[in-house]
Structure 1
Amino acid sequence: MATDRRDRTPTADPPATDDEHAAHLERSRRVWDRWSDWYGTSESDFEPIREAAIDRLDLQRGDRVLEIGCGPGVNFERVRRDIGAEGELVAVDYSPGMLENARARIEAHGWENVRVLRADATTVEFDDPFDVALATLSLSVMPDIRRAAETVYRSLVPGGRIAVVDIRSFPSGPARVLNPLVRRFLRWYANWNPDGGVVDALATVFDECEVVDTHMAGTSYTVVCEKRDAG
């Protein structure tokens, strides 16, 4: 079901302090540097879900695309194929290890219109706006998910959209009894932010959001949001 920002009273978790924010970023850097050389072993696991999410963006040749939390660049080839040499893909990640692999992927394919930037997605700024944005398995590990969503919102043109693929604990059913273990595992494995509320944060920031797909007993989902305002 679609939700409209203007129909709700915005709610959000209290923002992290500067020290908490910095500590979370540093843990993320260590965690994702650790996994940077092994991420490819699971690259295919979410490929159908990622591909379906990118389909939702209806990318056109010449589009300018922002990817938040690009990791080693698993989405680059598909996005680059859709936007062609006329478009541009700018990808942001905080892990030097992940970005090293992303740059190697770019160089191996000779993509001159794909570039990566090491930055905190909650504070990074861009000179020119983007037509669409993408975040796959990344927002839920951000230290401040709402601020990351606000970054994307500011960076999109009016009418721009973001497709987000992410994970959560079991939302319903008897498997919910496993959620404490799921949260602890994801915290260890990915520096997951269990209190961030990706869908709620996106719905608070964007003018319209809709969860369009769920998978794996609801623990994986795709949400598409749109910026309608000029703001």
Structure 2
Amino acid sequence: MVTDRRDRTPTADPPATDDDHADHLERSRTVWDRWSDWYGMSEKDFEPIREAAIDRLDLQRGDRVLEIGCGPGVNFERVRRDIGAEGELVAVDYSPGMLENARERIEAHGWENVRVLRADATTVEFDEPFDAALATLSLSVMPDVRRAAETVSQSLVPGARLAVVDVRPFPSGPARVLNPFVRRFLRWYANWNPDDDVAESLDDVFDTCELVDTHFLGTAYTAVCGKRDAA
């Protein structure tokens, strides 16, 4: 990933059709509703990676934070601890099953400043901008990764940052021979989008974007992207 979008020539792939988009969303709803009752089994697997990504946002008390693809709300407690009761967390997901679990988590803790919405992250709009955004294990399953990244960028104040944790096939080394299996597994397990490149989309949309950490032989990574301060 590069660090300054002015140093590259933007490219664009042909957009998916509306039917493709709708079909992908429906598959995502089915897949993630299926996993909504079992997500706790893997919730701890990425916890250190997610926590480190949130650290890089340098959240302050009173901040307004957007989470894209929140699932059952595994990041809520940590984000709320950083922003305090005076901040606000707005989380978006498309799976009713996941959102039901997220709402149960909110109610169990009595968090009055955490709000969840069922929406398509590529088209959702907000009345007020956010000070930071987070997307963990979610962008790569969006039907249009670039549009999702644009939604986030347009929803942030100047100078704000987005922290992304996501997965990909093996980027290098002998393990790349396993990538056909990895792609099929991710497609089955998570409705992973094989046609869009998350890193490329983030590079195209944000002013700065940096790959800051990798894990599991590079198949998991953390990226931090930002918008420039207003002139």
> Secondary structure at 2:56's aligned position in 1?
helix
2:29 aligns to what? 29
2:98 aligns to what? 98
Give how far 1:194 is off.
1.7
Give how far 1:12 is off.
3.2
| Number of residue pairs matched by the alignment | 231
> Secondary structure at 1:211's aligned position in 2?
strand
CA contact (8 A) 2:141 2:191 kept: yes
Determine the C-alpha separation between the residues in 2 that align with 1:229 and 1:188: 40
Determine the C-alpha separation between the residues in 2 that align with 1:15 and 1:133: 25
* Cα distance per residue 1:75-118 (max 9 Å; x no partner): 00000000000100000000000000000000000000000000
> Secondary structure at 1:152's aligned position in 2?
helix
> Secondary structure at 2:74's aligned position in 1?
coil
Determine the C-alpha separation between the residues in 2 that align with 1:13 and 1:185: 24
> Secondary structure at 1:122's aligned position in 2?
coil
1:218 aligns to what? 218
> What are the within-5 Å matches in structure 2 for residues 143-162 of structure 1?
143-162=143-162
Give how far 1:195 is off.
2.0
Q: Normalising by structure 2, what TM-score?
A: 0.98
> Secondary structure at 2:127's aligned position in 1?
coil
Residue identity in the other structure for 2:167: I
Q: CA RMSD in A?
A: 1.1
Quick one: structure 1 residues 183 and 227, their matched pair in 2 at CA, closer, same or farther if it must change by over 3 Å? same
1:62 aligns to what? 62
CA contact (8 A) 2:161 2:225 kept: yes
1:200 aligns to what? 200
Q: Normalising by structure 1, what TM-score?
A: 0.98
2:188 aligns to what? 188
1:128 correspondence with 2:119: no
Determine the C-alpha separation between the residues in 2 that align with 1:130 and 1:17: 30
Structure 2: tracts of 5 or more residues without a match: none
Give how far 1:6 is off.
1.1
* Identity among equivalent pairs (%): 86
1:228 correspondence with 2:200: no
